[in-house]
Amino acid sequence: MLNTLLTLPEKAGFHRFIVGVILVNALILGILTHEELDKTTLQTLQLLDDVCLAIFCVELILKMAGNWKVFFANGWNLFDTVVVAVSLVPETTEFSVIRTLRIFRVVDTLPSMRKVITAMFTALPGTASVAGVLLVLTYVAAIIANNFFGKIDPENFGNLGTTFFTLFQFLTSEGWPDVARPVMEKAPHAWIFFIGFLLMTTLTTLSLLFGIIVQSMDKATQEESRHEIEAMGEHPKEDSDLRLIKIEKELHELHKHLGKMEEKIKLLATAAQEPYGVSKGSG
Please write the tens of the pLDDT for every residue from 88-131: 776 655 555 667 777 777 777 777 777 777 777 777 777 788 88
pLDDT of residue 280: 47
Calculate helix-pair angle for 39-66, 12-31, nearest 10 degrees.
150
**Residue 74 pLDDT greater than 70, yes or no:** yes
Highest mean predicted confidence (pLDDT) among 33-37, 162-166, 208-212, 276-280:
162-166
The pLDDT of residue 257:
79
> Own/partner pairs for 56-59, CB < 8 Å, 24+ apart?
56/18, 56/21, 56/80, 56/84, 56/87, 56/102, 56/105, 57/84, 57/88, 59/9, 59/18
Contacts of 232 (CB under 8 A, 6+ apart): 249
pLDDT at 44: 92
**pLDDT interval class at 192 (50, 70, 90):** very high
Angle between helices 204-231 and 124-149 (to 10 degrees): 170
Length of the chain measured in residues: 283
* Alpha carbon 240 to chain centroid, angstroms: 27
For residues 156 and 93, the model is more confident at: 156
| Average of per-residue pLDDT across 244-273 | 75
pLDDT tens figures, 56-65: 888 888 888 8
pLDDT digits (tens, 9 = 90+) for 200-247: 887 777 777 777 777 777 776 666 666 655 555 555 555 555 556 566
Neighbours of 24 (CB within 10 A): 15
Residue 2's pLDDT is: 66
The confidence score (pLDDT) of residue 276 equals 52
pTM here is 0.54
Of 98-102, 144-148, 153-157, 177-181, give the lowest mean pLDDT range.
98-102
- pLDDT at residue 139, rounded to an integer: 92
Cα–Cα separations (whole angstroms), residue 156 to 185, 190, 254: 15, 14, 64
| pLDDT over 50 at 283, yes or no | no
What pLDDT is recorded for position 227?
A: 60
pLDDT higher than 50, residue 22: yes
Indicate the class that CATH gives domain 2-109. mainly alpha
More confident residue, 38 or 276: 38
Q: For domain 124-219, is the CATH number 3.30.1360.30?
A: no
CA gap 63, 3 in Å, rounded: 12
Does 282 have pLDDT greater than 50? Answer: no
pLDDT, mean over the chain: 78
Other Cβ atoms less than 10 A from the Cβ of 30: the count is 11
pLDDT at 85 over 50: yes
Percent of the chain residues past pLDDT 90, beyond the cut: 9
